[in-house]
A = this chain, B = another copy of it.
Amino acid sequence: MAGRSSGRGVLEKALGVLDAFEGRRDGLRLAELARHSGLPVTTVRRLAADLVNRQVLERLPDRRYVVGRRLWQLGLLARVQGGLRDVALPFLQDLYEATRENVHLAVRDGLQALYLERLYGRTSVPLVSRPGGRLPLHATGVGKVLLAHAPEDVIASVVASAEKVTPYTITEPGRLLRELAEVRRRGYARTVQEMTLGTCSVAVPVLDASGAVVASIGLVLATRRDPGRHLAALRVAAAGISRTQH
């Protein structure tokens, strides 16, 4: 590993600068970019100028930096989760069509739910979830499905550190563990206002050929609507996606 420190340093710094945009898609000023990436302003200024030249970053007229078109294009070349997102998309589209609610596809990434896709229309309730984003496993429908089928040490870690996102988030260890057992038993998860006030959710597992849970799909809707009536549609879509994993 010796003798490559300069090169590896630049890649690492560049990725650090890009990581700083997580949760800050509206852009960052130079000083903010330095603070969030933990690099000196002079280093960030030089690196950012280089990344702007290569269209990896873009600089807006008000001098804020945003992630640029080239990185977006490169990112779309990824085979996310072995192509799961691509094969799932038509089924998710069917599900959106049948329900007109927010449709989510998520996988577990460590102790969080990673959202691979979100479909929604103008009548769907506004949400914080977005493709590529992460949310807590214990507070969302898809998260509870993924957590219920996670290894025991993951369940233990999440349960021990679960925090309230809203006043309704279930965090009491005994209650959360009983709920996860229930999710495994009945084959779906439901939440009411645990992540976003005014919304509820229902989610089911996506299985691979061995019957292991590899992902979860779910719907998020306004609390005045009944998520239960969409359970059949959700199960049909999950079965369709699961079949492609055989």
Question: Using a CB–CB distance below 8 Å, which chain A residues touch chain B?
Answer: 4, 6-12, 14-15, 18-19, 21-22, 25-27, 46, 50-51, 54, 56, 58, 66-81, 89-91, 93-94, 96-97, 100, 119-122, 124, 130-133
Contacts and interface: CB of A to CB of B under 8 A. Distances in A.
A239 to B, nearest CB: 14
A93 B119 contact: yes
Given A10-B7, A94-B122, A122-B94, A73 B75 contact: yes
Contact of A54 (B15, B50, B71): B15
B120 A90 contact: yes
Nearest to A55: B15
Contacts of A21: 74, 77
Contact of A78 (B54, B67, B96, B100): B67
Query: 8 tightest A-B contacts by CB?
Result: A75-B75, A76-B132, A72-B78, A7-B10, A67-B78, A90-B122, A93-B121, A73-B132
Q: How many copies does the complex hold?
A: 2
Given A6-B7, A11-B51, A90-B124, 17 more contacts: A4-B46, A6-B10, A7-B7, A12-B54, A15-B70, A15-B74, A22-B73, A25-B78, A67-B75, A73-B75, A73-B132, A75-B75, A75-B78, A76-B130, A77-B132, A97-B100, A97-B121
A127 to B, nearest CB: 12
A55 to B, nearest CB: 9
A74 B69 CA distance: 11
Contacts of A58: 79
Nearest to A240: B122
